[in-house]
Copies of this chain bind each other. A is one copy, B any other.
């Protein structure tokens, strides 16, 4: 799929069919996560792949908007190794860029995905850290649910000229 088309046709997909996401596609998606830029090229991310339904369903116990994990084929937790942070304050930005790459890669492979916010909600961070047995220096940023879309979603019109300014506000 063309890159620009991929960016503007990507939608948050929350309804998945029962078809499994293949391991080759999954690896491609994870690779794309690792090609995000990061402050001072510190690459602070790790990716926890969840395939087991019981792992995914436990997330719905502490996350109020995670019901799509019931039908997702795979979920990826994007977490950050805070000990790799040299310049304080860029971990969230680095990992968010990685999440966006993951969402785009999934879409370009004909899959659907949705970004579940974890950071900075204390309850969600604690729940996910315990579930995934994260070390103390590792902080969870987000979970991405991935699967084959149940139906095709149309492109939305999100262009808004009022959001563009020239030289100053």
Binding site for B on A (CB under 8 A): 1-8, 10, 12, 28, 30-32, 34-37, 39, 43, 45-52, 55, 87-90, 92-93, 96-97, 99-101, 103-105, 107-109, 115, 117, 119-121, 131-135, 138, 141-142, 158-160, 163-169
B residues within 8 A CB of A141?
93
Most chain-B CB neighbours within 10 Å: which of A7, A28, A48, A158? A7
Contact sample, A vs B, 5 pairs, CB 8 Å cutoff: A3-B107, A39-B117, A51-B166, A134-B169, A138-B169
B residues within 8 A CB of A115?
37
Complex Cα distance, B104 from A30, in Å, reads 17
Besides A34-B163, A49-B165, A49-B167, 12 more A-B contacts (Cβ < 8 Å) are A3-B108, A4-B32, A8-B35, A10-B35, A37-B115, A46-B169, A47-B163, A48-B166, A97-B97, A132-B168, A132-B169, A133-B168
Which residue from B47, B55, B93 sits with its C-beta under 8 Å from A164?
B47
Which residue from B6, B50, B89, B163 sits with its C-beta under 8 Å from A45?
B163
A42 to chain B, nearest CB (A): 12
Which residue from B32, B50, B160 sits with its C-beta under 8 Å from A34?
B160
Q: Is the CB of A30 within 8 A of B164?
A: yes
A21 to chain B, nearest CB (A): 14
B residues within 8 A CB of A164?
30, 46-47, 49
Complex Cα distance, B30 from A160, in Å, reads 10
